[in-house]
Amino acid sequence: MTMKDIVKKRLLITGVSGLLGNNLAYCLKNTYDILGLYNAHGVEIEGIKTRKIELTSETAVEKIIEEFDPDIIIHCAAISDVDFCEDHQDLAQQVNVSGTRFLVNQALKNGAKFVYISTDLLYGDSPKNPLPEDFPVHPTNYYALTKYQGEREAARVPEALILRTNLFGWNIQNKFSLAEWVIHELSAGKRIQGFQDTYFSSIYTFELARIIDQAIEKDLKGIYNCGSSTFMSKNEFARRIADYFQLNKSCIQAISIDQAHLKAPRRKNLGLDVRKMEAALGRAFPTLEESIEKFYDDYQKGIPGIIKQNNFRKIFPVLDHIPYGRQSIMQEDIQAVVDVLKSNYLTQGPKIPEFENGLRDITTARHCVAVNSATSALHIACLAADIGPGDEVITTPITFVASANCIVYCGGKPVFADIDARTYNISTQEIEKKITERTKAVIPVHFAGQSCDMDAIRDMIRVKERAYGHRIYLIEDACHALGSFYKNTRVGSCAYSDMTTLSFHPVKHITTGEGGAVLTNDKGVWRKLCYLRSHGITSDPEEFVHKDTAFEPAQEKGEVPVKRPWYYEQTYLGFNYRITDMQCALGSSQLKKLDQFRQRRREIVNAYNEAFARTDGLTIPYEADAGDSNFHLYVLLFDFENMELNRTQLMLKLREYGVYSQVHYIPVYTQPFYQKTFATRWGDCPEAEHYYHRCLSLPLYSSMTDDDVGQVITAIRKLARMRSRV
């Protein structure tokens, strides 16, 4: 026996964070040396190497294939959301077709076996099931078209194995296969709809993994249907899942798929004739009933928890309670920081502009200055607006004290305008009442992630500027709102303002530990912000004042003067507000997951809203039509005056359930410093005070599990009871 006989074959699995990719890795990890590739959803699987890759980058694909040199490639990765593909056809084409082409090119180059996971949606519609491989292909939606194009790319590999399939199983991510969705919805007592006229031959993923392993061992090639050996309607499938898991089948409503109003067209007969592959492998495939039974048996053995436990281990920290907010740090974030620690620069290096450019790209602002905290960001923004003694700056009382403190740092006077009763944001009408000839700036705070009505605020300020004959700066405090939209424009674009500030505190959507940034579209303002961040110093020859001392005198006529290497000038009184490369490396890594974090928060918010919308004494957050909030906070209003528990009692009782909550915020003007310094008092902003006495922020962060969310909902429902009126 040679060493080659002992060494495991190298297997590359794309889409390892997806349902099939993960289950394949779990099932085959003892047989192969596996490298799993993922894109947006980082995972850790015991015994498996995983790496992030952008499959739409030909260079990245070539590099990773050269490094790993796989014997076999199983290509599972795809955008498989049918309706999403219909709306985002360019992206679907890039990922599902171009990504496959790049992999195929490398498989041809290094001689790897290529297994392509296709779909049962390729065939034309038929009045009967099941459909054999030679049935005419006629993709009915864009997803199916891209998968067929992917098949054609895969077929360029002479020994390629192409599997047309449909599957269900236990996901590693916080998302559901059809079977998991049925269990989740019925377990929550929700009513669901099952298509009674849509038939399929879906197969349990672990059964499919075993079939794929056998097909590779037999070096099978060509196109095969690979599913369960029988088919049933999706309505019947849901009912059988309910039977096994002892859930209420009466909550399943049988409907036609024609009633579903789906964006992309679907076929009704998706049954697959799998006899060709059964014959090739010399084995019978499980019936769909047997697939469901094995799915349930694995549930009984705790397989879902085993699959997910390694995935959840990737998110740090691990806590024994549910905080109101926390960071979600993944392995790639840690690696990004470690890479900087091993590099030449810990600060003032290349990771800072890289992070700033990422923020510019995500917000569409022209300029960005990253600093060591959001307070520093707001401070230099106020300085860049030339706020000083005698100036008034209007802001909201429902914010963290830093929003007002930065005005005071500059010698200005904060003026508090009351909030809107529905959005809890500063009221445009109240701003208008507070503006005087001494107003130098307005700082609207996008509370909890929902944008203020910037269009109305800007227009009103323009009128006041003409009336008073001077500029009034508009500075958005968007420390809660990275990833939010206003009128289809990204918050941070500065489309309505002079500057926008951001925060990267650990409870925000993305974190740098501590950190902040100022965005602007004004180059002059940007240059001043850069000065203020770093002691007011510049080393740019074009900005030097004392040119005679900055350069060596020319020795000969016509010689260009040489800048003295050590020379710099201080032209402003600046600060050391610099952020480090370590922080920015973490920020850049986190920024790649912003949309993922935002989507998960929205899922949690939807669950909360559904649970609390019709609960006596509770008011869920209002969302204005013009905005699309990232939901930094989920604030419920409680009718504490008529409840069994007051706010203190409720918060302490919630902790007994492992649920931590918070109050956002105490009106700033009620703080002793402001009362003493600016003669503010209770009663100045009635709406803010009414809000304050009723508000409570519930846990909301992207790594919350569905169990966490359920725990919060259960605790609130149990504890937030109205007093008896008898």
508 part of the active site:
yes
Boundary (domain end) residue, out of 542, 576, 591: 591
**Lowest mean pLDDT segment, chosen from 213-217, 218-222, 559-563, 677-681:** 559-563
Q: Check whether residue 566 and residue 640 sit in a common domain.
A: no
Q: What is the pLDDT of residue 311?
A: 53
Is 185 within the bounds of a domain? no
Contact 339, 585 (CB under 8 A): yes
* More reliable by pLDDT, 492 or 302: 492
User: Considering the entire predicted model, what is its pTM?
Assistant: 0.65
Residues facing 529 on adjacent strands: none
467 to 428, 436, 470, 471: CA distances (angstroms): 17, 10, 8, 10
**What whole-number distance in Å separates Cα of residue 184 and Cα of residue 315?**
23
Q: What is the pLDDT of residues 369-378, one digit of tens each?
A: 999 999 999 9
> Residues 354, 216: one domain?
no
- The answer to whether residues 637 and 497 belong to one domain is no
What is the percentage of the chain residues whose pLDDT exceeds 90?
84
Residue 404 shares a structural domain with residue 375: yes
* pLDDT greater than 50 at residue 2: no
Separation CA 320–CA 314 (nearest Å):
16
Which domain does 460 fall in, by range? 334-591
Do residues 466 and 546 both lie within one domain?
Answer: yes
Say yes or no: 441 and 502 in one domain: yes
567 and 605 co-located in one domain: no
pLDDT for the residue numbered 42:
74
Give the CATH number, domain containing residue 525: 3.40.640.10
| Domain annotation covers residue 632 | yes
How is the beta sheet containing 33-38 ordered, strand by strand?
A: 49-52, 33-38, 10-14, 72-75, 113-117, 161-164, 222-225
Q: Does residue 169 fall inside a structural domain? A: yes
Across the range 104-127, mean pLDDT stands at 94
Cβ pair 351, 588 in contact under 8 A: yes
Residues 341, 408, single domain; the answer is yes
Tokens of residue 279, six digits = 């014959």
For position 312, what pLDDT does the model report? 45
**Domain tally for the chain?**
3
Residue 583 and residue 602 share a domain: no
Domain boundary among 561, 591, 621: 591
Cα-based distances in Å from 204 to 28, 170, 224, 558, 607: 15, 9, 17, 80, 28
- pLDDT digit string (tens) for 406-450? 999 999 999 999 999 999 999 999 999 999 999 999 999 999 999
Element containing residue 10 per DSSP (H, E): strand 10-14
**pLDDT(510) > 70:** yes
Q: Is residue 724 part of a domain?
A: no
CATH number of the domain bearing residue 665: 3.90.1150.10
User: Domain for residue 261, yes or no?
Assistant: no
- Residue 284 in any domain: the answer is yes
Residues 80 and 215 in one domain: yes
Same domain flag for 36 and 150: yes
Q: How confident is the model at residue 331 (pLDDT cuts 50, 70, 90)?
A: confident
Residue that is last in its domain, among 591, 611, 638 = 591
| CATH code of 32's domain | 3.40.50.720
Is 212 part of a structural domain of the chain? yes
Residue 573 and residue 619 in one domain: no
Catalytic pick among 234, 308, 440, 508: 508
